[in-house]
Amino acid sequence: MDILDSLPSIEQRDTKNALGIAANEPKQLCYKIVVENTTSIPTINKIVVAGMGGSALAAEIAKDWLNLPV
């Protein structure tokens, strides 16, 4: 059996749960930001996302959902 097919082997080596964090990334993009006690929130018209490799994946997904330049 290949190590990538064995969840116990992955969990043993992935002590910081990188795979779990990456798997939950789509859920994190769906969280709504709640701002309380604010009288005026400026309109957001530009977003900057910095990342390399897998870190840039969230920006690629967000680009498809937003009507703003990313």
CA dihedral 16, 34, 62, 60 (to 10 degrees): -30
User: Which stretches in the chain have pLDDT values below 70?
Assistant: 1, 35, 37-39, 41, 69-70
pLDDT tens profile 20-38 = 888 888 887 777 777 676 6
Give the predicted TM-score (pTM) of the model.
Answer: 0.41
**Chain-wide mean pLDDT for the chain?**
79
The whole-number pLDDT of residue 14 equals 92
